[in-house]
Amino acid sequence: MKKNDPMPKQQNKKETKRVHNLIIVDESGSMEVIRKQAFVGMNETLQTVRKMQEKFQDQEQFVTLLTFDSGHTTWHYDNLPAAQTKDLDWKAYCPGGGTPLYDAIGKGISKTNAQIEDGDHVLVTIITDGEENSSEEWTLKMIRTMIEKLKKQNWTFTLIGTDNLDVETMAHSFAIDEHLEFHQDMAGTKAMFARERRSRERYNCCVAEATPMPTGSFFEEEN
């Protein structure tokens, strides 16, 4: 090689995969009964995303975390690299008000969609203990149309709801294939977040191996 020749390019270098974690959590008044467990669970989820960033060096993890009620939408993180996130402060999550579920989902998905690049992976996690009752901007039809389109573009949507809801029917109304029901008490909420984290880890393993999870299997676990 001559002195001024450029260095040869590295061969077999893994392409960096970008993974966007959009987490939408109900902060309406009825969530007060599981406020502590929801708060702890959100922080453990943030910890899991940071863990995935450390585990998979060829991935870039980003976090968008929003909580909502009829009086506000709080963007705790907005497309922030996972390594820069920190656990939430206790005062950051104070349930109260109604459930503008359509507005929260519409805002979260549309904002994330404007930030991603071709080939990126997006995991959307929606957690609620109630049905829509106070949205002003978005409708179910608008949400469903958007989700149906994005499912064809490396987006995975999950709906997690309490056992006072018909979570399966609710998920299908949104065109969401992955759903999980949990009991709205301390033990049930803790178990739900633990299962979600294990599913999130499996999801990232599938992204790393370029093997998509079969539809409807996100929360499935081996006995």
Give 98-128 pLDDT, tens digit per residue: 999 999 999 999 999 999 999 999 999 999 9
In this prediction, residue 13 carries a pLDDT of 54
Concatenate the DSSP letters of all residues of 66-82 into one string.
Answer: EEEETTEEEEEEEEEEG
Q: What is the 3-state secondary structure (H, E, C) of 168-207?
A: HHHHHHHCCCEEEEECCCHHHHHHHHHHHHHHHHHHHHHH
Strands 155-162 and 178-182: parallel
Long-range interactions of 136-140: CB distance < 8 A, separation 24+ = 136/100, 136/103, 137/102, 137/103, 137/106, 137/107, 138/102, 138/103, 138/105, 138/106, 138/107, 139/102, 140/102, 140/173, 140/174
The CA-CA-CA angle for residues 62, 45, 124, to 5°, reads 55
Q: Say how many Å lie between the first and final Cα of the chain, rounded.
A: 58
The confidence score (pLDDT) of residue 128 equals: 97
Q: What is the reported pLDDT for 11? A: 46
Amino acid code (one letter) for 114: A
pLDDT at 10: 47
The pLDDT, as a whole number, for residue 15 is: 82
User: What pLDDT, on a 0 to 100 scale, did the predictor assign at position 4?
Assistant: 58
Q: What is the pLDDT of residue 14?
A: 66
Tokens 């993890």 found at: 61
Structure tokens that stand for 197 in this block: 């984290």
What was the pLDDT predicted at 222? 78
**For the chain, which ranges sit under pLDDT 50?**
1, 9-12
Residue 155 backbone phi and psi in degrees, to 5: -100, 135
